[in-house]
Structure 1
Amino acid sequence: MLHSKTSWHSPAADPELVKDLARSLSISPLLASLLVNRGLNTSHEALLFMDGGEEEQHDPFLLKGMSEAVPRIRKALEEEEHILIYGDYDADGVSSTALMIYLLRYLGASFDIYIPHRSNEGYGLHNHALDWAVQQGVSLVITVDTGISAYHQIAYANGLGIDVIVTDHHEPPELLPEAYALINPKLPGCPYPFKGLAGVGVAYKLAQALLGEETPAEWSEIAAIGTVADLMPLLGENRQIVRIGLSSMRNSRFPGIRALLGVSGVTMNTVNSVNIAFGMAPRINASGRLDHAGRAVALLTTEHAEEAELLAGELDLLNKERQLVVERIATEATAKLEKVLEVGELPDIIVLADQGWNVGVVGIVASKLLERYYRPVIILDIHPETGMCKGSARSIPGLDIYAALSSCADLLDHFGGHPAAAGMSLHRDSIGAFATALNEYAASVLTPEHFVAVTVADAEVSLSELSLQAALDLERLAPFGMANPLPKFIVRGVTVKETRTMGQGGKHLKLVLQQGDSTIESVAFGKGALSALLPGGTKVDVLAELSVNEWNGSRKPQLMLQDLAVQDAQLFDLRGAVDAVEQAGQIRELLLPYSGNGPYRAAAVFQSGRMSPQSELKGMSLWVYDKEMGISALNNEQTVAEHEPVSLLCLLDIPETPEQLDALLTVFPDADNIALLHSIRDGRERLQIPTRDHFKALYKMLASIAAVAIAENEVLLRLSRQSSMSVRMLNMMLDVFEELDFIERSQGKILFITQPAAKSLTASRHFIRLGQVAEMEQYFMEGSRLEVQEWMLSRRLGAS
């Protein structure tokens, strides 16, 4: 049984609206239902969303401050003033800076650029940078993607005789800076109809204001990158910007974009918003996270293909390094948290800190831990000399992390952000009080329901509805991103027809799913380890996105798995594991995200002769087979109550007797999953289901070698040479003969009774027991997974 990682909900679209829209636009009911669920109920709204139109583009002079900014820039050009572009180090800031470079190049301006270093300087406008600007002869600063909160810094610039034009898109504070011009669609009183522009979107509107219809269409490529990368809503004007940008990018003349697409493994003529989000943006961001964002700006603005290839390769290497750094910190942070959980419960807000945690990636680490534990997470890097900490927070929908930080602002040197993410700085001596205060706040806000992750799907469908044509229809909803996500579909009760892994080291999972006469290939990136838990024949529910797979000129539909669930208890066939203990620990970790919302309990059972694997099986209750009780806890404190079923039961060894098996099934009557990890005995060491022919053959052999008393060891040795039966089998058969008075055992010797009384084999308890043990062993050693599963179910019913 695998519980889905999140709770799935699928809103039902109004059937009449769906029917009317499908008929009026001649589109499929599935596409119509998706449009209706996204609030596009009329033909006009739906067509505008799918095809775009002039009404989505707005006059740049509707932006408050634009009428003041444009004449000031023209004056700077006429008087040959030196201009400074002041940007930011994330992908939106890099894109904004690059676009302004293209604009000022086009206008023939004299200019410099300045982007602060993420780790050494931090976000925003800095006075020391303004001092440097004065030295360079700068008289006009144009900020991009920053500046709306720089009240004191802009006052400082004014004192230096520098005019500042702010272009930004972040939430304006109550106290606005006294800049020459403020351009931000979110400013109070700004009449601009679309408030969701990225920083690069505002810069793009400034370019349009200065150049009008002469604005090069290809600049929309730069604007598209920043808009998608900064997770801006792909609605309204942003859709038009990204749509035009993607169309241009498919034949891009920018060497940097062509090279960046190449190292991202993206085919130029099919590039889409998802490629930007997961291919291009991480490599641009890697520059600012681990190095300096200037390298990414240089890539986007170079005019030379060779330089572009070199810079793109450097960014690709930085991104790989970033991935390794994130993985290391995530592993270290998880280990710290697990130590806390050994003595306590999971806190409402997770706060973790350490030295050597690169401040440029702590936000990504926080996101990873949030995904695993579904709690708000704060990850802090501690400066080894000053003790100052810088960190990032990521939160769940139920908790406004900015409000939480505001509640303990007295403990912080600085903080900022929004409900879902934030940044902060404080001294290490305040971390304990900080964590306590945050959790006290969370306790007053959060309820148990908040800790259940929810995924809103677009529709619950059958596999037959997810056709190639359906996948092609979905492209009409592109570009996809924030506020317009790729549609997610729930499909229940599909059968795994084939399971395999793909990619280096089997990192990714590929399933062939079947429902009725319909089959479809499905891919889950990074989930290759799940292949052992999803053998052919498994019934699953899936949450997936539909796409088109193109290979060698062939096109077919493909599902990209986002989540899955198995409703029935499962038996994992991992018999013959090289290291059963290590494998048990790995399965426990693998199942953890699929264990549901209740307590995650795992248990391991093994023979008492096995060396205690306590250190390797942390987090699992340990049990041993017992001759008297059948099974007993290795530690008396480790008990399992009937109302607390285990999520995973690992059999490191098989039971040796039916009593041990029945005790096992009695103690663990409702295990969600059972993993068979025992070794496979050599064929000659196994028991066989006893038959009369076996005993007839043994009777004849004994008559020939034990007419006089002979050492039992010698008897067993000679019998094993003359038959195909194991010594174990022969020994247990001798127990039957002894019970029936066919032989005598005395002082380690055996004597054959020449004229015993006639007795039936079935009268022997040892004969019945041999059959039971042999049957049990045969199932565990030779039975198929389904045979063992059905047999154990029947035993479990009998045991209960």
Structure 2
Amino acid sequence: MFDSKYEWRTSEADPEKAGRLAQELSVSPLVGSLLAARGINSAEEAALFLNGSLDALHDPFLLLGMKEAVPRIQKAVETGEHILIYGDYDADGVSSTSLMIHFMRYLGASYDIYIPHRSNEGYGLHNHALDWAHQQGVSLIITVDTGISAVEQIAYANSLGMDVIVTDHHEPPEVLPDAYALINPKQPNCPYPFKGLAGVGVAYKLTQAMLGQPPVEWTEIVAIGTIADLMPLSGENRILVSRGLEQMRSSAFPGIRALMEVGGITMRNVTSTNVAFGMAPRINASGRLDHAGSAVALLTTEDEDEALRLSHGLDELNKERQQVVDDIVQEATSQLLAKTDGSRVPDVIVLAGEGWNVGVVGIVASKILERYYRPVIILGIDPDTGMCKGSARSIPGLDIYEALTSCKSLMDHYGGHPSAAGMSLHRDQLDAFEQALNEYAAGVLTESDFIPVAASDGEWRLSDVPLSVIDEMEMLSPFGMANPVPKFIFRNCRLLETRKMGRDSKHLKLLVQQDGIRLEVVAFGKGELAEVLMEGAELDLLGEMSVNEWNGSRRPQLMLQDLKLTQPQVFDLRGSNDPWQEIDRVSQLIGSHFRLGPTQVAAVLEREILDPAKIRLNESTLWVYDKNAGILAYHPNEERSGQDDVTTLFMLNAPETPEQLDAVLFSFPKLSNVFLLHQVHKRERLAVPDRDQFKKLYILLSRIAAEPVQEETALSRLSQQASCSIRMVTKMMDVFEELSFIDRQEGLIRFIPKPPKRDLASSRHFLALGNLAEMEQHLLYASTPQVTSWFISRMQGAS
């Protein structure tokens, strides 16, 4: 049994609606179902979804504050006022700032830009930056992707005689700043119909209000910021990103062309996925480890050579960022393990460390969340001032912005979204901060919130997704938030081949079959699972269909997200030099897929090795082989309350008898995963007995034991002459004695010339020898396929 890492949830489309759409649009039933599941109700809505143009964008003057902002900017341009564009250091902020630079150039305005340094200054407006702007003669500030919470700072700007126009998309606080104009679709009483714009999307709406139809190439920059900031790719965002990706395929910007080149992105095939994983991390790297100005320079340069230089610089920064993240993740994980010391992981994980680069703590939080599936806050501590700057990432069950709001008195600053946020506070407040967050979470989260969920687009057969349908699905792109890449469930697929691939064998490749159709399955970063997947097993798969293009051929391929097996599994790890280390390694490997609690794991072993087992398996239920009972729990209470929970068993020693093996299988009725860790070839080999073998031994015995002979001598001679082990001959002597063919007394054996006629099959020793030999043949000598198949059949027979 191999459970899925996620709970699979399917968004069921109305079959009637799906069928109607498929017919009206002349698409496959699968694509009709995908459209229906995304809320498309008619062919007209489908046309807008699939082919929406820039003409379908909403009137920018529906945004509250736009009517005030436009004439103020026009006046500033006409009178030559010096304008400051104040941005942010993430990819959305960089894109927003870059877009406004192109806008200022287009208008011929006098302008400057300011982006705070993430580590030295932190998020948002800062008074010292406003002082600098005032000294530069700035009279109008336009914020992009920031400003909605800057109540005190905007009041300070006003006191210096500077007007501030805020363009932002973050959640508005209860008290809004007294800006000249506030443009944010999420602010109270704003009638704008689409609330999901990125910061760069709001900035674009400002340019639209000013120009009517901005240059179409600007949508390239909008697409980058929207995708990078994980905004929903629906409504206006879908239109802007679609057009932006289309423009990128023949990009007008040297910086974007260079960025695609260094990211290994083919221009003609650029997708939202390329932007998210190839471009956005490199743009973000500038603000995380250096200053975001270099990324802004890249997106706004008109010089090819400068673009190449800047793009390669960002690439190097991104590689450095990856190493920094790995180091902090390791430190943070160690800190959490020491903090919990084996106890339950808290509902909200709060970790802080001196020297942790605050530019990457958000990425670290995401990686810790992925491992533990808890809301996570990672903070870097300034050892000189004691100030902590951090980032939060949350799960769907907890709105982290609301959680932070519940303890806002403990922080100097905070802001963000339901799923991600940033904050600053003094280290003296950390304990109270962590306690307050966990108290809030305890009243909001339930146990079901801690099970990660993977959405799917239904259960289908491999025959439903040929190449033609996979190609057809591309019409639903661009994919991203609110319009994810379709994920499908394929059940009862037989596993034909398993192998690792890639550098260091980190990746997994499977070949599966369903209804005679074969499909290659690729899982990145899951190479270790090759050790716990048996060929021939039946799998349920969850993944994304794609096309594998190689040397001119195109084949369907499944990019695996998750999998499960409903059958028992037996893993052959026999003969391990260090079974204790193997248990530790396997426990780490299978943890997320077997969903194991302390009562679900057991180990069975010989009593002689119990002491080291108690040290290494303190969280497992320990059982020992027993001559009479089969097996016994080391602690009696475990036998009463623990055995019904056990699903995973480590067998450190092979049983001595079939009765012991039966006792193991019957003691754990829910057993679904068995790891064989016993040594092999340690016992003299037994053969499954047959009548000819017994006949031959009987004749030999009649010759050497007509007169009483020492048993030890007889066994040695019989072993040599019959070509079988002394252990085997001894077992056969037990059969002869039971049938009164020999007499055993005081270490002597005497052959009985005329014994009563008895059938070998009537001997319990004969039957026991057959069962024992069969068990040992499989457990000690059989190949992996043989032992796993045999053991599974025994498990199924016991259930």
- Structure 1 length-normalised TM: 0.89
Aligned amino acid, residue 99 of structure 1: L
- Partner of 2:645: helix, strand, or coil? coil
- In structure 1, C-alpha distance between the alignment counterparts of 2:110 and 2:721, rounded to whole Å: 100
Question: Are 1:237 and 2:239 an aligned pair?
Answer: no
Aligned amino acid, residue 237 of structure 2: N
174-183 or 537-546: which moved more?
A: 174-183
Aligned to 1:496: 495
Aligned to 1:562: 561
- In structure 2, C-alpha distance between the alignment counterparts of 1:297 and 1:638, rounded to whole Å: 63
456-465 or 691-700: which moved more?
A: 691-700
Aligned amino acid, residue 670 of structure 1: K
Aligned amino acid, residue 770 of structure 2: G
User: Are the aligned partners of 2:100 and 2:203 in contact in 1 as well (CA < 8 Å)?
Assistant: yes
- In structure 1, C-alpha distance between the alignment counterparts of 2:286 and 2:383, rounded to whole Å: 24
Aligned to 1:623: 623
Aligned amino acid, residue 424 of structure 1: M
504-513 or 119-128: which moved more?
A: 504-513
Aligned amino acid, residue 549 of structure 1: N
Residue 142 (structure 1) shift: 2.6
- In structure 1, C-alpha distance between the alignment counterparts of 2:100 and 2:416, rounded to whole Å: 26
Aligned to 1:50: 50
Question: Are 1:14 and 2:14 an aligned pair?
Answer: yes
Residue 578 (structure 1) shift: 5.0
User: Are the aligned partners of 2:681 and 2:781 in contact in 1 as well (CA < 8 Å)?
Assistant: no
Aligned to 1:647: 647
- Partner of 2:641: helix, strand, or coil? coil
Give me the CA root mean square deviation.
Answer: 3.6
Pair 247,318 (structure 1): closer, same or farther in 2 beyond 3 Å: same
Aligned to 1:170: 170
- In structure 1, C-alpha distance between the alignment counterparts of 2:446 and 2:782, rounded to whole Å: 47
- In structure 2, C-alpha distance between the alignment counterparts of 1:528 and 1:115, rounded to whole Å: 42
Aligned amino acid, residue 377 of structure 2: I
Aligned to 1:98: 98
Question: Are 1:509 and 2:502 an aligned pair?
Answer: no
Question: Are 1:39 and 2:39 an aligned pair?
Answer: yes
Aligned to 2:4: 4
User: Are the aligned partners of 2:548 and 2:554 in contact in 1 as well (CA < 8 Å)?
Assistant: yes
1:131-146 mapped onto 2 (5 Å cutoff)? 131-146=131-146
Question: Are 1:437 and 2:436 an aligned pair?
Answer: yes
Residue 311 (structure 1) shift: 3.6
User: Are the aligned partners of 1:604 and 1:623 in contact in 2 as well (CA < 8 Å)?
Assistant: yes
- Partner of 1:125: helix, strand, or coil? coil
Residue 661 (structure 1) shift: 1.3
Aligned amino acid, residue 296 of structure 1: A
Deviations 1:122-169 (A, max 9, x none): 110111122233444444433211112222212222333433332222
Aligned to 1:688: 687
Question: Are 1:543 and 2:565 an aligned pair?
Answer: no
User: Are the aligned partners of 2:398 and 2:444 in contact in 1 as well (CA < 8 Å)?
Assistant: yes
User: Are the aligned partners of 1:389 and 1:426 in contact in 2 as well (CA < 8 Å)?
Assistant: yes
Aligned to 1:248: 247
Question: Are 1:281 and 2:249 an aligned pair?
Answer: no
Residue 34 (structure 1) shift: 1.7
User: Are the aligned partners of 1:649 and 1:674 in contact in 2 as well (CA < 8 Å)?
Assistant: yes
- In structure 2, C-alpha distance between the alignment counterparts of 1:548 and 1:86, rounded to whole Å: 43
- In structure 2, C-alpha distance between the alignment counterparts of 1:142 and 1:35, rounded to whole Å: 39
User: Are the aligned partners of 2:91 and 2:280 in contact in 1 as well (CA < 8 Å)?
Assistant: yes
Deviations 1:652-691 (A, max 9, x none): 3322222321222233232121122334438x95332233
Aligned to 1:466: 465
The sequence identity of aligned pairs, in percent, is 60
- Partner of 2:602: helix, strand, or coil? strand
1:340-739 mapped onto 2 (5 Å cutoff)? 344-577=343-576, 579-596=578-595, 601-610=600-609, 612-617=612-617, 619-634=619-634, 639=639, 641=641, 644-681=644-681, 685-694=684-693, 725-726=724-725, 728-729=727-728, 732=731
Pair 316,54 (structure 1): closer, same or farther in 2 beyond 3 Å: closer
Pair 230,730 (structure 1): closer, same or farther in 2 beyond 3 Å: same
1:219-368 mapped onto 2 (5 Å cutoff)? 219-338=218-337, 344-368=343-367
694-703 or 365-374: which moved more?
A: 694-703
- In structure 1, C-alpha distance between the alignment counterparts of 2:774 and 2:662, rounded to whole Å: 14
- In structure 2, C-alpha distance between the alignment counterparts of 1:743 and 1:245, rounded to whole Å: 95
541-550 or 642-651: which moved more?
A: 642-651
Pair 642,70 (structure 1): closer, same or farther in 2 beyond 3 Å: closer
- In structure 2, C-alpha distance between the alignment counterparts of 1:113 and 1:708, rounded to whole Å: 111
User: Are the aligned partners of 2:166 and 2:179 in contact in 1 as well (CA < 8 Å)?
Assistant: yes
Aligned amino acid, residue 517 of structure 1: G
User: Are the aligned partners of 1:669 and 1:796 in contact in 2 as well (CA < 8 Å)?
Assistant: no
- Structure 2 length-normalised TM: 0.89
Pair 139,765 (structure 1): closer, same or farther in 2 beyond 3 Å: same
137-146 or 314-323: which moved more?
A: 314-323
Residue 743 (structure 1) shift: 8.4
- In structure 1, C-alpha distance between the alignment counterparts of 2:553 and 2:561, rounded to whole Å: 24
Residue 226 (structure 1) shift: 0.3
- In structure 2, C-alpha distance between the alignment counterparts of 1:134 and 1:164, rounded to whole Å: 12
- Partner of 1:445: helix, strand, or coil? coil
User: Are the aligned partners of 1:56 and 1:236 in contact in 2 as well (CA < 8 Å)?
Assistant: no
- Partner of 2:124: helix, strand, or coil? coil
1:109-188 mapped onto 2 (5 Å cutoff)? 109-188=109-188
Pair 407,138 (structure 1): closer, same or farther in 2 beyond 3 Å: closer
Aligned amino acid, residue 277 of structure 2: F
Aligned amino acid, residue 565 of structure 2: V
- Partner of 2:88: helix, strand, or coil? coil
Pair 554,712 (structure 1): closer, same or farther in 2 beyond 3 Å: same
Aligned to 2:778: 779
- In structure 1, C-alpha distance between the alignment counterparts of 2:384 and 2:561, rounded to whole Å: 43
User: Are the aligned partners of 1:571 and 1:676 in contact in 2 as well (CA < 8 Å)?
Assistant: yes
User: Are the aligned partners of 1:707 and 1:751 in contact in 2 as well (CA < 8 Å)?
Assistant: no
Pair 79,54 (structure 1): closer, same or farther in 2 beyond 3 Å: closer
Residue 230 (structure 1) shift: 0.8
Pair 688,283 (structure 1): closer, same or farther in 2 beyond 3 Å: farther
User: Are the aligned partners of 2:644 and 2:668 in contact in 1 as well (CA < 8 Å)?
Assistant: no
Pair 662,567 (structure 1): closer, same or farther in 2 beyond 3 Å: same
- In structure 1, C-alpha distance between the alignment counterparts of 2:363 and 2:703, rounded to whole Å: 78
Pair 183,413 (structure 1): closer, same or farther in 2 beyond 3 Å: closer
Residue 309 (structure 1) shift: 3.9
Deviations 1:15-35 (A, max 9, x none): 332233222222222222221
Gaps of 5+ in 2: none
- In structure 1, C-alpha distance between the alignment counterparts of 2:326 and 2:494, rounded to whole Å: 34
421-430 or 82-91: which moved more?
A: 421-430
Pair 55,674 (structure 1): closer, same or farther in 2 beyond 3 Å: same
Pair 189,443 (structure 1): closer, same or farther in 2 beyond 3 Å: closer
- In structure 2, C-alpha distance between the alignment counterparts of 1:727 and 1:193, rounded to whole Å: 88
User: Are the aligned partners of 2:743 and 2:752 in contact in 1 as well (CA < 8 Å)?
Assistant: no
Aligned amino acid, residue 669 of structure 2: P
- In structure 2, C-alpha distance between the alignment counterparts of 1:616 and 1:626, rounded to whole Å: 21
164-173 or 273-282: which moved more?
A: 164-173
- In structure 1, C-alpha distance between the alignment counterparts of 2:314 and 2:644, rounded to whole Å: 50
- Partner of 1:547: helix, strand, or coil? strand
User: Are the aligned partners of 2:644 and 2:669 in contact in 1 as well (CA < 8 Å)?
Assistant: no
Pair 418,600 (structure 1): closer, same or farther in 2 beyond 3 Å: farther
- In structure 1, C-alpha distance between the alignment counterparts of 2:640 and 2:434, rounded to whole Å: 33
User: Are the aligned partners of 2:624 and 2:634 in contact in 1 as well (CA < 8 Å)?
Assistant: yes
Pair 15,738 (structure 1): closer, same or farther in 2 beyond 3 Å: closer
User: Are the aligned partners of 1:738 and 1:745 in contact in 2 as well (CA < 8 Å)?
Assistant: no
Pair 777,171 (structure 1): closer, same or farther in 2 beyond 3 Å: same
86-95 or 544-553: which moved more?
A: 544-553
Deviations 1:181-235 (A, max 9, x none): 433333445454433221112222333445555x433222111000111111212
